Structure 1
Amino acid sequence: MESTLRERIKYILSCYLNGDPVSIDSKTFCEQYHLIYDLNGPDDSVSSEEHLFYMELSDTSSRFNPSSQERDKYPGVYSDEVEVYEKSRLIWNLINS
């Protein structure tokens, strides 16, 4: 049986935030989140409210750039690791409350 979008998002968030079952870095998280959410969109497992949360995370993760030089050159355009982590933690807490 194929996992739902919600299950896949929870899995990738758990890997990123908790290292469970495997640890991934911000770049890998952002790439995988794009593949899981941005390319597939919501399904029946995702409520309207969750969809809004996931869109926020998509906005932050899609702008991730590890280069401080690029972020300094174009302020406000890119997200850094702290922003991605904080938004991911917020979404994790919201969907697990």
Structure 2
Amino acid sequence: MTPKAQLYYLVNEYIKGNYDSDTFCDQFTIIYNIEVDYDELNETENRLFSELCKLTGRFSSFEEDLKIPNMYFTEQQVKEKVLQVKQELDHMNSS
């Protein structure tokens, strides 16, 4: 599976509940930042995955971390962003 396909797979499986937030965020961040060839992504994919990676890279499930303003993202924020990314990707791919 290509890194691009892995990103799509992770998004879909996270929405289905097959990945917890810690695992999803770790895997998504690693694949997007290290493994993916950005030239293989179109402009929309690159924008959406980059925006999502900003959240996944700063996700924390620890309450103490979340007390620091504007530093970490919550599970709810990640879930909302994933749903937004999925919706936009689906729209793009159906056009």
Interval containing the TM-score (normalised by the shorter chain): 0.7 to 0.9
> RMSD over aligned Cα, in angstroms?
1.4
Gaps of 5+ in 2: none
TM-score, reference length from structure 2: 0.86
The yes-or-no answer on 1:6 pairing with 2:1 is: no
- Specify the SS of the correspondent of 1:39: helix
Q: Quote the Cα distance in structure 2 between the aligned partners of 1:44 and 1:70.
A: 35
Deviations 1:20-50 (A, max 9, x none): xxx1100000011012111124344310121
TM-score, reference length from structure 1: 0.84
- Against the structure 1 CA distance between its residues 75 and 42, is the aligned structure 2 distance closer, same or farther, given a 3 Å change threshold? same
Higher relative helix content: 2
Gaps of 5+ in 1: none
Checking the alignment, whether the CA contact within 8 Å between 2:4 and 2:36 is kept in structure 1 is no
Q: Please show how residues 1-97 of structure 1 align to structure 2 within 5 Å.
A: 3-19=1-17, 23-72=18-67, 74-97=68-91
Relative to structure 2, which stretch is displaced further, 39-48 or 51-60? 39-48
- Specify the SS of the correspondent of 1:9: helix
- Percent pairwise identity: 26
